[in-house]
Structure 1
Amino acid sequence: MRTYHLETLGTIEGVVPRETARPEPGPREILVRVRAVSLNKRDLLIMKGTYPLKAVPDVIPVSDGAGEVVAVGGEVTRFVVGDRVAGTYFPNWLDGRITPALLDQPGVTLDGMLTEYARLDQEAAVRVPDHLTWEEAACLPCAGVTAWHSLIGGEPLAPGQTVLTLGTGALSLFAVQFAKTLGARVVATTSSAARADRLKALGADHVVDYVRHPAWGSVVRELTGGRGADLVVETNGPDTIEQSMRAAALYGQIVLLITGNPRRPGIEISHAAYASSLATIRRVFVGSRAHFESMNRALALHGTRPVVDRVFGFGTDDVREAFSYYESGAAFGKVVIRVN
């Protein structure tokens, strides 16, 4: 079988293919014929050696993937051959709160999904909704679960409340979709007129141009009749937290998700912005298997589909082109590699 390994840190060329024997599952493991994987910012950071967790030597990269169970160990009870599954981002975080002991992740401290066959512990996988293609199912473990956890993990979001999302990254797009599923009104930001139209087509009720309106927090307040956003999905951290605080309702929630290397050394909020609100800032780091399973139930109930921007092949040049395209920031939605 073909599998990719992170042989050298620092460049896309450090991701190299190899031919290895197909593995066999252990007693409590399943063997998954991987059909598709999707890329996240963390995959680029791991490749460059700037991710908080250090990659183990020769690790198989990429956390997110989906495929078909083709073999099961003798003690497996959760799956049978033929099940459609995705791996979880934190294989050991099943429910409740995360602890330092549960931080292992595929693609960095554990082998990931950029391979034809992946061997997973039966506890480290979930069934994916039947209506999704393999490419769509591969988009769920990181960005999808993070967006879902952001919306449902704190104070309950009531129908008719306002959710603010920032930009058009894949996580923000999931947040738009899930917020509409939960009956919320959505205000989104972007600097592109073309992307504004696509955000509205996805369900956003209002789109604010953050270049045209640098003080976009006040615009969000105007759009909400002075109330502000009940929940802000804050994906940029240092660059936007000031305006997010100004945009938040008096008792709003700001879910802080720093998804890349910030251009500033830390979070700074002016006294004026801080004093203007009693909003709660909450950190979220993806989610548990229970979050993943509840998200999948919502996806199945509403027929929601992830936004896929572009699909690449599994050849060496294709895989490296996928990483390069994702790094360019040109995508609207997920960048996927189809494992042929």
Structure 2
Amino acid sequence: MAIEGVPNNMLAAQVVQYNKPYAFNDIPTPTSLAEYDLLLKVKVASLCHTDGMVSAGDFSTKLPCTASHEGCGEVVAVGSSVKDFNKGDRVMAGIPFHRCGHCPDCLGPEEFHHYCPNLEGHLGVTTQGAFAEYMLCDARESSRIPDQISYETAAPMACAGLTIWGGLVNAGLKAGETMALVGAGGGLGHLGCQFAKAMGLQVVGIDARDPGLDLARSSGADIVIDARIGKEKVVEEVKKVTGQKGVDSTLTISDAPDAAALACAITKMHGTMVQIAQPPQVSVPFHELIFRDIRIQGSLLSPRLKSESIRMLDFVAEHGITVKTNPFFGLKAIPHLVELAHSGKMAGKGVVIVDEDEIRKEKERRGIA
């Protein structure tokens, strides 16, 4: 079905073979909307660690698949049952796509809804994503972007922001308590440092890369520790600043083989380690887990996904949370972004400015050179 002002075809960066570079294809614009769909004109999309897993075939994604699950844009069409979005709205696309609505997770508490096993897919992971000029998303999972937040900030919030926010929610700490982040200087970690500081927490940032240590420091971490000094010395340093007890909770964002073990070792007895990173194995010595009664909480995206998305975006707007971005202009610049990401030298998040004219105008409106 034709939509006024929307072209019949669009450019998309797609996974067409596992372990091969993205292909740039001219494909039909998705103009057939289900009842709760939004069609967005993509403004900015960003690259995530999970995109590499998709390209490697870890999710057995049906190919071809348009990449990226971190996207945002302007609504150009709405499905027949959509009531809370209108054409022209600025939207952060929710990752889950078409929950079944009748399984135990869908019928249970809101924090379980995004675990629905019968989802039609996850954007850019098992169904079409944001590395394109237009994308479909599910209005029930998506959120309006506050005026104070730029598209360049909003795109990484769709996954990186929500994932680290969800970890903080699951940790359940109160102002004045201490949070450590293992992997504090990455795309998620530097957001976590800012979120935690704005929540009134004392923040210990741990990383093993010089750019990561610098980013954790500039993102507000009170104490920054280089993991390369070794586990025992990291534990000593953490105990020095916590009255010998360890931090109240730790978020593990690094997928290094020993990251989870380090995270548990610096967490106080009876404390909680929230596992966010997705390494092949999560390994913790039994004496940390059992003798010290460490609670390990797995965390995917965020509990109460829709309501927490809105709460997170309002928090970002209120506290001026910023994303350290590495912007690349135009979809065909994606190979250069992937190269930077794989080099290990990227600090923060890599983003693709899809609608260059709109982002230029947005910066002019905000008085940004």
Please name the residue that 1:128 is paired with.
145
Return the offset for 1:176.
0.8
Return the offset for 1:118.
1.1
Q: Please, which of 13, 21, 26 is the counterpart of residue 4 of structure 1?
A: 13
Please name the residue that 1:212 is paired with.
229
Residues in 1 aligned to 2:310 and 2:202: alpha-carbon distance in whole angstroms: 24
The reply on whether 1:277 has 2:277 as its aligned counterpart is no
The reply on whether 1:246 has 2:265 as its aligned counterpart is yes
Q: Please, which of 74, 96, 99 is the counterpart of residue 68 of structure 1?
A: 74
For the Cα contact (< 8 Å) 2:193–2:203, is it kept in 1? Answer: yes
Residues in 1 aligned to 2:25 and 2:187: alpha-carbon distance in whole angstroms: 27
The reply on whether 1:222 has 2:240 as its aligned counterpart is yes
Structure 1 gap segments, 5+ residues each: none
Query: 5 Å matches for 1:81-100?
Result: 81-92=87-98, 95-97=110-112, 98-100=115-117
Please name the residue that 1:329 is paired with.
344
Return the offset for 1:103.
7.7
Please name the residue that 2:365 is paired with.
none
Residues in 1 aligned to 2:38 and 2:285: alpha-carbon distance in whole angstroms: 51
Q: Larger deviation: 80-89 or 229-238? A: 229-238
For the Cα contact (< 8 Å) 1:241–1:267, is it kept in 2? Answer: yes
The reply on whether 1:307 has 2:324 as its aligned counterpart is yes
Distance 1:89 1:314, change over 3 A: same
Distance 1:129 1:331, change over 3 A: farther
Return the offset for 1:180.
0.7
Return the offset for 1:221.
1.6
Return the offset for 1:332.
1.0
Return the offset for 1:336.
0.2
TM-score, normalisation: structure 2: 0.83
Residues in 1 aligned to 2:94 and 2:295: alpha-carbon distance in whole angstroms: 28
TM-score, normalisation: structure 1: 0.90
What whole-Å deviation, never above 9, does each CA across 1:179-227 have from its counterpart, x for those lacking one?
A: 1111100001123455434322211000111112442123212221112
Please name the residue that 1:15 is paired with.
23
SS in 2 for 1:9: coil
Query: 5 Å matches for 1:257-272?
Result: 257-259=276-278, 261-262=279-280, 266-272=281-287
Residues in 1 aligned to 2:179 and 2:20: alpha-carbon distance in whole angstroms: 37
Distance 1:28 1:91, change over 3 A: closer
For the Cα contact (< 8 Å) 2:186–2:212, is it kept in 1? Answer: no
For the Cα contact (< 8 Å) 1:55–1:107, is it kept in 2? Answer: no
What whole-Å deviation, never above 9, does each CA across 1:268-308 have from its counterpart, x for those lacking one?
A: 33343335522210001112223222211211221212221
Distance 1:117 1:193, change over 3 A: closer
Return the offset for 1:173.
1.3
SS in 2 for 1:96: helix
- What is the one-letter code of the residue matched to 1:196? L
The number of residue pairs the alignment matches comes to 330
Aligned Cα root-mean-square deviation (Å): 2.1
Residues in 2 aligned to 1:229 and 1:92: alpha-carbon distance in whole angstroms: 39
Distance 1:17 1:319, change over 3 A: farther
Return the offset for 1:24.
4.8
- What is the one-letter code of the residue matched to 2:309? F
Q: Please, which of 229, 233, 237 is the counterpart of residue 251 of structure 2?
A: 233
Residues in 2 aligned to 1:267 and 1:6: alpha-carbon distance in whole angstroms: 28
Residues in 2 aligned to 1:24 and 1:269: alpha-carbon distance in whole angstroms: 48
Residues in 2 aligned to 1:41 and 1:193: alpha-carbon distance in whole angstroms: 20
Distance 1:272 1:75, change over 3 A: closer
SS in 2 for 1:139: helix
For the Cα contact (< 8 Å) 2:11–2:24, is it kept in 1? Answer: no
What whole-Å deviation, never above 9, does each CA across 1:128-182 have from its counterpart, x for those lacking one?
A: 222222111111111111111111124x211111111112221111211111111
Return the offset for 1:57.
1.8
Please name the residue that 2:218 is paired with.
201
What whole-Å deviation, never above 9, does each CA across 1:84-135 have from its counterpart, x for those lacking one?
A: 1011122356832124234821112211111111122322321122222211
- What is the one-letter code of the residue matched to 1:137? A
Please name the residue that 1:33 is paired with.
41
Residues in 2 aligned to 1:104 and 1:234: alpha-carbon distance in whole angstroms: 26
Report percent identity of matched pairs: 25
Residues in 2 aligned to 1:74 and 1:271: alpha-carbon distance in whole angstroms: 54
Please name the residue that 2:301 is paired with.
286
SS in 1 for 2:122: coil
Distance 1:206 1:56, change over 3 A: same
Q: Please, which of 29, 44, 57 is the counterpart of residue 52 of structure 2?
A: 44
For the Cα contact (< 8 Å) 1:4–1:18, is it kept in 2? Answer: no
For the Cα contact (< 8 Å) 1:6–1:58, is it kept in 2? Answer: yes
Return the offset for 1:321.
1.3
Structure 2 gap segments, 5+ residues each: 1-9, 100-105, 356-369
For the Cα contact (< 8 Å) 1:6–1:16, is it kept in 2? Answer: no
Residues in 2 aligned to 1:104 and 1:29: alpha-carbon distance in whole angstroms: 13
Residues in 2 aligned to 1:45 and 1:189: alpha-carbon distance in whole angstroms: 24
